[in-house]
Structure 1
Amino acid sequence: MLPILDFVKKLFRIDRAPATPGKALEVPQGSGPRVYSRSEHTISRNSISENALKVLYRLRKADFQAYLVGGCVRDLLLGYEPKDFDVVTDAHPEQVRAVFRNCRLIGRRFRLAHVHFGPEIVEVATFRGRSEEIGEGDRVLGSGGRILRDNVYGTIEEDAWRRDFTVNALYYNIRDFSVVDYVGGMEDHRAGVLRLIGDPEQRYREDPVRMLRAIRFSVKLGFTIHQSCAEPLHRLAHLLAGVPAARLYDEVLKLLMSGYAVQTFEQLRHYRLFGALFPETEACLAQEPEGFPLTFLAKALENTDARLQENKGVAPFFLFAALLWEPVRAAAKARIEEGDNDVFAYQEVANEVMGRQLRHISIPRAVGQPAREVWMLQPRLERIKGVRPFKLLTHPRFRAAYDFLLVRAATGEADPELADWWTRFLGADDAEQRAMTREGGGRRSGRSRSRGRRGPRPPRATQNAGD
């Protein structure tokens, strides 16, 4: 009989052949881990946060097991600098708090310990155990198998099998500086494969956000989603409707504000997940007016990536203004063609579209209100005679609205001459600006004609944290 280690290696080699759709890799539990010694991996303590090392060593000194786990180990192996360092241990949360005076316990679904070092927080979790029965111990499952609360503690092996992707289930052992692998994560890491642990459909049903995480990690890491994990995505997108809207807001920010928004957007649409998050936008994107695809959103996301790569900030309200612009523009255009005042049409449609979107993603008011203002300023940017341009310059959201106009013009959706006029106006001195507003560049001024309907003036915006 082959030794267990040889059996596992052989199993990995076999699985490197093209995968059978719907079939996931199953490493026999209880077979023990594959331990990679310090000479077999590239992780150095010099790359680990000093405070994370303090937590690891202090837990070891208190006779507890202590490992780095998850994304930080995965990223260190790739040569990236992790954003944060997560620690796991056999100590229970209350025991962790007893070791660290600078510790706070948080969470209900997952009880965690946060060890504070000034602005840096090192998260410490207790090994999670396996519990198959609903309501057993401190585990609570909702309808459809989704985990609502789970504080069942166990061993490091049980903890590994409960994690989502194999490459996120690698443990760095501070005792001997080895990497411990129970689920074949190192093999997948080296092959550039993103694979769920266990049955993919069951894992997605337990937590549908894993579908979004699969997209995010595959794009960020440049990994290929294993066929068994990619196949269910098209069928299970509807499960995202059962995820709290506030949680989906956070996930969208992670997806689209990490510097890979364009590829992420394309992958979300390919697997039909984008429509579950932004159904009205997806409905618009599925149409091609006069045979031309709508390119505004792709251009806006491209600009977002460029700013992040240049270490410039991106306002979430601008991102959501871009994500929802197509349904706003289409509905406002229809009302204007019916004779409505253009400013009033955009104001009314902005509120309606944002209201419907909130059923899917809980966009905070500090983000949603500035996004509305960016939309409502678009028709006002067309009024370039008289004092209107000068008044518009004082609006708190003018600069964002101007940038929005530039993206629209770059994709042919707005008049490039109008965008050029505003660019020249902003760079002109007082005398030149007065001359430009007298000429008006042939643009219209005053209110649009409407069928006996006059819209209220848009509400005055105030500066907020969304800037």
Structure 2
Amino acid sequence: MIDPANPSNPPISTVPLVIPRSQHPISRKMIDGDALKVLYRLYRNGYLAYLVGGSVRDFLLGKTPKDFDVATNAHPHEIRALFRNSRTIGRRFRLVHVFFHGGKIIEVSTFRSRSEFEETESDEGSLIRRDSFGTPEEDALRRDITINGLFYNIADFSIIDYVGGIADLNRKLIRTIGDPEVRFKQDPVRMIRVIRHAARTGFTIDRPTYQAVLRHRDAIRTCSPSRVRDEFFRELREGAAEASLRLMLETDLLMSIFPDFERVFGDRNPFKTRERNDLLSLFRLVDELNRLGKPLSEPILLALFLTPFLRAISHDHPYLGEKERYTYFVETVHFAMNQALLPFSMPKGLRETVFQVLIAQASLKRFVEQGGIPKKWRTKKYLQDAVLYCGILAHARGETMPGILRRLVPPDFLPWWPEVYEVAPSGKPKRERFARRKRRRGRRHKKPLPA
């Protein structure tokens, strides 16, 4: 997904391209009503008010945006004065969230001259951390990629392009704003975003940007674990996980984020191609569920992501008994959670749920062999997640999910499951039996005879 015809990044023009309303497809009818209220209130009070970022890009691509962000020359305290239903967030770089019914939030930011995650040094060498308010041009130039640097001006309904985003949309090209070598050194997380937008749009990454990812991929380890975690989860849950992971494997960025996955997808593993294909097939199903309106939770996504790693480091030794094999499996999952996911800053609850989902697979397999489900298992909080993980894994391998497990969850839990209830000769659905423990009977003590 490299553009061989683009040997270098063209210079960014400081003279904006202004596209009048008659020459672009964005209409006010397409914009969310609450976002329009924010834009107009800012504009009518004498401020610049632009719709920015992904919403403008999505409109031009014929898609419906999920979020609407607004940029203005009003400072945070001035925005707060205009919107009583708002709150200022952030310490270093303050934003204003304007709240509407149904939990909807419109994010309003002041034009800035640099990114939140870029550091500026003083003459003495100390880091300067403060709000860096700027102009619309500076705000466009600080953004990650050109197709995200477009502005929609509510004053005259025009599109303002300082960064060549319109040309790159027409060429279907993903390109950083400015020199990618410099941009990735300033903030290595931009490499993940470049890959995500290439996967979501199907666009080509231009050669200088792609080569810079290859050269600077290890710099991702210097970033905050929580930022890397949040960006990586976006890769998995926004409907283009397969394409994102394919590009991350192609550039080896995945191994830079998770060094221990080198033993699974690296050259040391003779079966690396099979393992890569298996990972991509799992997340192809994840993307399919997203398209059907059935997004997966973070524990399921992490459990699926760990599956090839667990398979690479665990072995069913023929001389281990059932209890010893289970103990070995639990320790293997512990190792995978603590070692492979070490770069992540995971909340304790998320980590625990992933662990329970993974170790529950051994119990579910045993229940199938026994032909019954203990009653206490039906109250487990992670039961549905465990069955869902098992169902996705079975479908990816071309296996049939046992009906005894499918009946633990709603019939439409996964779209590719057939009717789960088997019909008995009497015409009534069969019921699975419960695995019951034998009740111990103590001695019956006879009542003493009256004296």
TM-score range, shorter chain: 0.7 to 0.9
The aligned counterpart of 1:313 is 295
The one-letter amino acid paired with 2:110 is T
Residue 359 (structure 1) shift: 2.5
**What's the secondary structure of 2:314's corresponding residue?**
helix
Q: Count matched residues.
A: 409
**What's the secondary structure of 1:231's corresponding residue?**
helix
Residues 358-397 of structure 1 mapped to structure 2, 5 A cutoff:
358-383=341-366, 384=368, 386=370, 389-391=373-375, 393-394=377-378, 395-397=380-382
C-alpha spacing 1:111/1:422, structure 2 compared with 1 (3 Å): closer
The aligned counterpart of 1:450 is none
Structure 1 CA distance, aligned partners of 2:4 and 2:373?
Answer: 64
**Equivalent in 9, 13, 19 of residue 24 of structure 1:** 9
Structure 1 CA distance, aligned partners of 2:349 and 2:217?
Answer: 28
Structure 2 CA distance, aligned partners of 1:290 and 1:178?
Answer: 50
Give the TM-score normalised by the residue count of structure 2. 0.81
Give the TM-score normalised by the residue count of structure 1. 0.79
CA contact (8 A) 1:193 1:226 kept: yes
C-alpha spacing 1:292/1:272, structure 2 compared with 1 (3 Å): closer
The aligned counterpart of 2:38 is 55
CA contact (8 A) 1:24 1:199 kept: yes
Farther off after superposition, 377-386 or 238-247: 377-386
Structure 2 CA distance, aligned partners of 1:290 and 1:48?
Answer: 46
5+ residue gaps, structure 2: 409-419, 437-451
Residues 251-270 of structure 1 mapped to structure 2, 5 A cutoff:
251-270=231-250
Residue 103 (structure 1) shift: 2.1
The one-letter amino acid paired with 2:386 is A
The aligned counterpart of 1:121 is 105
Q: Percent identity?
A: 35
After superposition, the C-alpha distances for 1:347-381 in whole angstroms (9 at most, x for unaligned) are 22222221124430122223221221122122223
The one-letter amino acid paired with 1:18 is A
The one-letter amino acid paired with 1:169 is G
2:120 is equivalent to residue 134 of structure 1 = yes
Farther off after superposition, 290-299 or 180-189: 290-299
After superposition, the C-alpha distances for 1:70-118 in whole angstroms (9 at most, x for unaligned) are 1111111112111111111111111111222222111123211112223
2:283 is equivalent to residue 297 of structure 1 = no
**What's the secondary structure of 2:120's corresponding residue?**
coil
**Equivalent in 391, 395, 401 of residue 386 of structure 2:** 401
2:69 is equivalent to residue 89 of structure 1 = no
Structure 1 CA distance, aligned partners of 2:236 and 2:247?
Answer: 12
The one-letter amino acid paired with 1:366 is G
The aligned counterpart of 1:465 is none
The aligned counterpart of 1:40 is 23
**Equivalent in 193, 204, 209 of residue 189 of structure 2:** 209
**What's the secondary structure of 1:63's corresponding residue?**
coil
CA contact (8 A) 2:334 2:355 kept: yes
Structure 2 CA distance, aligned partners of 1:356 and 1:241?
Answer: 15
C-alpha spacing 1:24/1:56, structure 2 compared with 1 (3 Å): same
The aligned counterpart of 2:448 is none
Structure 2 CA distance, aligned partners of 1:288 and 1:405?
Answer: 26
CA contact (8 A) 2:316 2:325 kept: no
Structure 2 CA distance, aligned partners of 1:151 and 1:419?
Answer: 57
**What's the secondary structure of 1:42's corresponding residue?**
coil
5+ residue gaps, structure 1: 1-15, 142-147, 439-467
The one-letter amino acid paired with 1:324 is L
Residue 27 (structure 1) shift: 2.7
The aligned counterpart of 1:218 is 198
Structural RMSD (CA): 3.2
Farther off after superposition, 196-205 or 345-354: 345-354
The one-letter amino acid paired with 2:364 is L
Farther off after superposition, 193-202 or 423-432: 423-432
Residue 228 (structure 1) shift: 1.2
Structure 2 CA distance, aligned partners of 1:198 and 1:211?
Answer: 14
